[in-house]
Chains A and B, each alone.
Chain A
Amino acid sequence: MVLSAVAQPSSQPGSRMSRQQQPQQHHHHHYQQQQQSQPQSRTPLKVTDNVVEVKSKFEAEYRRFALKRNGPGGFKEFYHLLQTIHHIPGVDVILGYADVHGDLLPINNDDNFHKAVSSATPLLRIIISKKDDEPVVFGTNSLQRRKKGLGLTGLRPTGSGSTHSKNKPGLMIGMPQNFRQISSIIDVDILPETHRRVRLHKHGTHKPLGFYIRDGVSVRVTPQGVEKVPGVFISRLVRGGLAESTGLLAVNDEILEVNGIDVAGKSLDQVTDMMVANSHNLIVTVKPANQRNNVMHRGSKYSIGNSGSVGSAGSSGSALSHDSPSPASQSNPITASNSIAEGDSDEEDDDGDLILENDCLTPYEPQQVNNGNSTNLNRDSPNTRPPHATAVRPLPQSISLPNSVGASLTDGSMATSRFSDDTASNSPESMREDGNIITL
């Protein structure tokens, strides 16, 4: 699961953005409709202050009506009113409204209904979705992407929160910015079971990478027998460092590759320099010293149905990855998620250089550099989104409100499995085969 730490600046252009906009073009004609209707109706209603203009939307249809600001009634009445207006009596629906910050918030009781009416300025936008449709995501800034697609003005230009990844019908269990990917195990399908490829994300964390390496002797089994060759090993983990906190690296793990490059024959200093040079996005392939943790249950986990996003073994360059959200969730089924081709990561630091042109130059302050760092992060974060996922799966046009968090959880997993069907080209069977064959 990817939860980006920081919102994208809405003005940020770029190829990645345009990819995301693609599916939203479905909305375009709605937007035009809206634009046309708005000015006509809004002008007379604005005169009276005790009336709230309501615009409700169900599927592709809009209705406009007014509500008394002082006595709008209760939630139940409103619910029935909407069913009547939209001619959908008996259809179970979920109601949501857009608040001043552009966030989509639920209406499911009198309190939040009254809040919605009182905070409407001047228009109360209601979004109605069928209950058995896909779960809708509520939360801070959840309308952000819609807003951009629709070109609505009047909502807050940039959000302080995080953009929620759209392919992740989500569990809203906390503020998204509290989550940040710091590490992942990748390429499990193409690596031998005895090896582990770990990605450490230095971005957005102030934790040190926090490990040391040393020279050592590696024992290899060859047709000629056991052979001793020089190798590089993890010698120490810094307490509280990124490496330690992931739980994926341990002392005496042998370093086999750094960002896809074999370290055999390289000196300790060379390997050190390679790692430091890649420190912003370090991918190390290790042979864990403790081989008991990584064999069987890993394979079984993947066959549970999360396997959809794993790429074909042949194309290692664009191999997909399994990212674990946090160290704690290691025992949970790993959510299918984004993949980043190794070559792709090259692009990251292109944007990463902080360039100050003369109009924005200020006297040199070292703190500035830190700011710059977080700016880099912002620009890089869209990168962590899978390029193909958005294209494959368009943003749902209708949004449904889950009744509870529990319900959304089940919906979430449903969505995931459907997602894997969409990417049928990477068939789960072949993937499983790959995994098993390689682990032998």
Chain B
Amino acid sequence: MKRFRRHGHESQRDRLKQELYQFNKTLEHGFPHQPSALGYSPSLKLLAIGNRSGAIKLYGDPGVEFMGLHDENAAVTQVHFLPHQDLLGKTNQSTLIYWINKVSIFQTKKKKTIYLPLSAPPSVTRVTAVLAHSSGELLLLGTEGGHVFIVEVPGFRELEERNISLEQVANGVPDDYIGRRNLEHVEALQENPVNPNQVIIGYGRGLMVIWDLEKQCALQHIPATQQLESVWWIDDGSYVLSSHSDGSYCRWMVGEEDLNDEEEKSDIPYGHFPCKAISKIIQLPTEEGPPFLLFSGGMPRASYGDRHCITVIHGKKHIALDFTSRIIDFFVIREGPRHTGDPSALVVLVEEELVVIDLQTEGWPVIQTPYLVPLHSSAITCSHHVSAIPLKLWERILAAGELQNTHYSKKPWPITGGTNMAPDPPQRDLLLTGHEDGTVCFWDASGVCLYPMYKLSTAGVFHTDSDPNDNLNQSSEGEWPPFRKVGCFDPYSDDPRLGVQKIHLCKYSGYLTVAGTAGQILVLELNDEAAEQTVEAKVVDLLQGQEGFRWKGHTRLDVRDEPVMFPPGFQPFALVQCQPPAVVTALTLHSEWKLVAFGTSHGFGLYDYQQKNNVLVKCTLNPSDQLAMEGPLSRVKSIKKSLRQSFRRIRRSRVSLRKHHVNNAQIQDANARLEAELAEMELAPVQRKIEARSSDDSFTGLVRTLYFADTFLSDSSHNSPSLWAGTNGGCVFAYMLRVPTVEHRAEEPITAHQAKEIQLMHRAPVVGIVVLDGHGAPLPEPLEVAHDLARSPEMQGSHHLLVISEEQFKVFTLPKVSAKMKLKLTAVDGSRVRRVGVAWFGSSRSEDYGESGLVVLTNQGDVHVVSLPTVKMQVHYPCIRREDVSGIASCVFTKHGQGFYLISPSEFERFSLSTRFVVEPRCLVEVPHSGTTKQNRSLRVMEHALLNDESEYS
């Protein structure tokens, strides 16, 4: 009987769990890692990006996002939209993958794989050029062997009789053409814009042939003698442009008669000295005035061979847009109902970002991208998420951000395909990312698009090594080529000490604290006006006279003594510098008490930012811990330096590398070498030492977590402010704080007395401390109650202390600390806590039911939800590959059961554990139905991810 009852209770709990928890990976924010192909459909207004791991992502209007993944883990080399309907991706194998766009692209994964005739060896049939014919019925595939296969769509039947074989073409080649014996692969395929029956086939050797698809014969041979890079057929069909590997481009008249071997015009734009190849050339007419000529590459090899440039020439205007990473591809968006009008925007995909240039506004400014923003313009070093931002603060941050974006074009985002169906986000969420160069980026993380709101730089407070002449160099007049730097990707940090390590923002007061690599802690305040001020530095000695140590790491940052002009936004007003200047490992801010607590590997301190006075210093250093003293960065720094050098070497050597087919052998070679090295490494046995942790282990004094709580520390009738600190050695310190009343806050000193010290027997690092109120609920954030956004904590019942170590969760009673219950993690399954957060889970079924829980990420990459206050495991899901150490380290949880982690240096994956709070794309793209006439265009609807009903977003 008892068993039955219990069973009933358990199934009820199981049902509740289903209502509370649900794991979804919903979105990828940021810029795709290692993009390799770009495609655009003017009619759908959709952008497609393929990457080296086989993924294709589609973007339209902000919020319209789709993703597809090839089964084979092969790089996508080309992406084409078939006119009117479909998307085509091409991988570097002899297969073409075809997604039917009419149905949801990747929900159904309805796709086809086309295998080209296997009679010929693969090297011959490898597809090198693709032309989606404007009729929408044909696909032309140029191959390595020089043949052009013609395939019927949508059936993908090879039209054998219409194939254009190399022999057919070679017969008509003039006898005196030097390359007639070997025309090489098909480099380019283009359709005549005014006569769809004519296509031009460009061969690697240089020869171009205009072919009539109907008559199946060559109309004209264009005997270019330089290695061919690209072909462009001018809008009116009268000319063909070809670009070549020597940095030249040529204009050829298209005539009826054959063997018009005189090129109309030839030019090497950056001439005289040998130039690099022009890999792509486009010329577009304008209604009135000269045409736009755009080409990538062509830079003088010796002096600017390492630049990644696209040149735009329009009449007298000539600019070489200088990108910070390799150019993958570019296209131009044109105006007009048929997309044949004036060019309006240039869209460039470079390896690390997408740049869109407004070609209609004077000065060709950049249009800010609403998505695909490179998160890693400088490497991300930490992240911090703040849920439910009050509207006032939100607007102030937005306003500060807008002032920073004045150099962007006012034009709206030109890629507008599809309709965003997602409801407005239920709340305003901020994601803050700290970067290696000392900047903090504020992202609007409320919805599908991770939109940059505001960027804060902390570098201005300090003297840095950066060369002030850097900026002058760029804008020098009369330089040839006329470079203009574009894009924000800048991986080089002036000073690694500026790196941001910890961030804490109080959303109610607008106080922000940012801590960095060289032990610097800045306290900032939001100011809508620019202000000139001096930031006073307070040096805090965390060693407290511990002797016998020598800090071998970096020095403290040098603070500017003179007043600094700070733009509107977050402005620093207080600075603490730890001595030794080790990286700050824990940081928290209490805006009500106006206190900041900070910790490093040597100890922790408490700073009163109202009185600008340090209240408390506690050295946690173990005297036998030499490692903590030496400063781990001294070594990292040199690694970084050597990395930078090798980066430059690679860049230099890349200059000499040629296109894919040349690379292949080398890549295979390198792979083989790497594999051999790996095999060798595997032979050496990997051993792990089994040893109990001792107080002598390294970095036991490293402060891992700091926590403010108003709780019962000394007796059960009086609560008081307290500070809690947890160390790497499994030690918890508790301090009782005396905070004067508001009237006397400015003059009376704040005092701190140590009240408790807990040494966990298992000595595992303490990664989280939470105080639970009389109802077992976590204490609210400071000012949360004052703003009526949280229930006052229950002070009647007894409070409990939850200590989360890497190995277990343990609840203690308060004020007398004694163990009450615990949940072991490591002892049971061998995983360790890497990230932990408190989250509130709302039930999907009942509006007003919800539970607090701990969200935990382990070193195995699993996410767990642990109930509060009972510390029972609720659910767990695999989330991140266990090998993905940086992904696991980057994970950040929200207060509502969502999370973010880096899947590449430039992309966040967004996931949700909650049934109620899910942010995912919901969008619709209307696609004209294929096979119907233009007058009678029936619309089909493409929908994505309408899995959950609307009620969840309530």
Which A residues fall within an 8 A CB radius of B? 202, 208-215, 235-236, 243, 258-259, 261, 263, 266-280, 282, 346, 349-358, 361, 364, 366, 369-370, 372, 376
**B101-109, B529-537, B685-693 - interface stretch:** B685-693
Closest residue on chain B to residue A233 by CB atoms: B685
Alpha-carbon distance between A435 and B832 when the two chains are bound, in angstroms = 37
Alpha-carbon distance between A183 and B885 when the two chains are bound, in angstroms = 37
One digit per residue, 1 when the CB lies within 8 angstroms of any chain A CB and 0 when it does not, for chain B 622-649 equals: 1110000000000000000000000000
Q: How far is the CB of A266 from chain B (nearest CB, A)?
A: 5
In the complex, the answer to whether B692 meets A280 with C-beta atoms within 8 Å is yes
Is B353 in the interface zone, CB < 8 Å from A? Answer: no
Closest residue on chain A to residue B757 by CB atoms: A356
In the complex, the answer to whether B688 meets A354 with C-beta atoms within 8 Å is no
- Chain A hits for B764, CB < 8 A: 277
In the complex, the answer to whether A273 meets B832 with C-beta atoms within 8 Å is yes
In the complex, the answer to whether B827 meets A277 with C-beta atoms within 8 Å is yes
Closest residue on chain B to residue A363 by CB atoms: B754
Q: A212-B687, A271-B830 are in contact. List 18 more A-B contacts (CB 8 A).
A: A208-B692, A210-B690, A210-B691, A211-B690, A268-B688, A272-B690, A273-B830, A274-B828, A274-B829, A276-B691, A277-B808, A280-B762, A346-B824, A352-B761, A353-B759, A353-B819, A361-B756, A366-B622
In the complex, the answer to whether B816 meets A278 with C-beta atoms within 8 Å is no
Is B714 in the interface zone, CB < 8 Å from A? Answer: yes
Closest residue on chain A to residue B730 by CB atoms: A353
Q: Which of A280, A346, A354 makes the CB contact (< 8 A) with B759? A: A354
Alpha-carbon distance between A99 and B646 when the two chains are bound, in angstroms = 81
A-B CB proximity, top 9 nearest: A270-B830, A352-B761, A279-B692, A277-B826, A272-B688, A354-B759, A274-B830, A356-B757, A277-B827
In the complex, the answer to whether A355 meets B688 with C-beta atoms within 8 Å is no
Q: How far is the CB of A276 from chain B (nearest CB, A)?
A: 7
Alpha-carbon distance between A213 and B687 when the two chains are bound, in angstroms = 6
One digit per residue, 1 when the CB lies within 8 angstroms of any chain A CB and 0 when it does not, for chain B 825-869 equals: 011111110000000000000000000000000011000000000
Is B822 in the interface zone, CB < 8 Å from A? Answer: yes
Closest residue on chain B to residue A202 by CB atoms: B692
Q: How far is the CB of B765 from chain A (nearest CB, A)?
A: 12
In the complex, the answer to whether B761 meets A354 with C-beta atoms within 8 Å is yes
In the complex, the answer to whether A355 meets B817 with C-beta atoms within 8 Å is yes
Closest residue on chain A to residue B803 by CB atoms: A353
Q: How far is the CB of A293 from chain B (nearest CB, A)?
A: 22
Q: How far is the CB of A279 from chain B (nearest CB, A)?
A: 4
- Chain A hits for B571, CB < 8 A: none
- Chain A hits for B624, CB < 8 A: 366
Closest residue on chain A to residue B758 by CB atoms: A355
Is B283 in the interface zone, CB < 8 Å from A? Answer: no
In the complex, the answer to whether B827 meets A274 with C-beta atoms within 8 Å is yes
- Chain A hits for B620, CB < 8 A: 364
With A235-B685, A277-B807, A355-B757 in contact, is A370–B695 under 8 Å at CB?
yes
Alpha-carbon distance between A267 and B881 when the two chains are bound, in angstroms = 13
Alpha-carbon distance between A267 and B950 when the two chains are bound, in angstroms = 42
- Chain B hits for A354, CB < 8 A: 757-759, 761
- Chain B hits for A208, CB < 8 A: 691-692
Alpha-carbon distance between A124 and B324 when the two chains are bound, in angstroms = 97
In the complex, the answer to whether A376 meets B753 with C-beta atoms within 8 Å is no
Is B760 in the interface zone, CB < 8 Å from A? Answer: yes
Is B755 in the interface zone, CB < 8 Å from A? Answer: yes
Closest residue on chain B to residue A279 by CB atoms: B692
- Chain A hits for B816, CB < 8 A: 357
Q: Which of B622, B690, B808 makes the CB contact (< 8 A) with A212? A: B690
Alpha-carbon distance between A49 and B882 when the two chains are bound, in angstroms = 81
Alpha-carbon distance between A311 and B831 when the two chains are bound, in angstroms = 32
Closest residue on chain A to residue B619 by CB atoms: A364
One digit per residue, 1 when the CB lies within 8 angstroms of any chain A CB and 0 when it does not, for chain B 800-832 equals: 000000011010000011110010101111111
Alpha-carbon distance between A356 and B816 when the two chains are bound, in angstroms = 10
- Chain B hits for A215, CB < 8 A: 685-686
Alpha-carbon distance between A61 and B829 when the two chains are bound, in angstroms = 60
Closest residue on chain B to residue A376 by CB atoms: B761
One digit per residue, 1 when the CB lies within 8 angstroms of any chain A CB and 0 when it does not, for chain B 676-691 equals: 0000000001111111
Q: How far is the CB of B600 from chain A (nearest CB, A)?
A: 16
Alpha-carbon distance between A274 and B806 when the two chains are bound, in angstroms = 12
Alpha-carbon distance between A235 and B829 when the two chains are bound, in angstroms = 22
In the complex, the answer to whether A353 meets B688 with C-beta atoms within 8 Å is no
Alpha-carbon distance between A366 and B762 when the two chains are bound, in angstroms = 16
Closest residue on chain B to residue A349 by CB atoms: B761
Alpha-carbon distance between A64 and B714 when the two chains are bound, in angstroms = 54
Closest residue on chain B to residue A370 by CB atoms: B695
In the complex, the answer to whether B761 meets A353 with C-beta atoms within 8 Å is yes
With A213-B687, A274-B830, A355-B818 in contact, is A369–B759 under 8 Å at CB?
yes
Alpha-carbon distance between A52 and B862 when the two chains are bound, in angstroms = 76
- Chain B hits for A275, CB < 8 A: 690
Q: How far is the CB of B602 from chain A (nearest CB, A)?
A: 12
Q: How far is the CB of A438 from chain B (nearest CB, A)?
A: 26
Q: How far is the CB of B119 from chain A (nearest CB, A)?
A: 42
Q: How far is the CB of B722 from chain A (nearest CB, A)?
A: 12
Can you show 29 pairs from A to B with CB atoms below 8 A apart? A202-B692, A210-B690, A210-B691, A212-B690, A214-B686, A214-B688, A261-B827, A267-B830, A269-B859, A270-B830, A270-B831, A272-B830, A273-B830, A273-B831, A273-B832, A274-B827, A274-B830, A275-B690, A276-B690, A346-B824, A349-B761, A351-B819, A353-B760, A355-B756, A355-B817, A358-B754, A358-B755, A364-B757, A366-B624
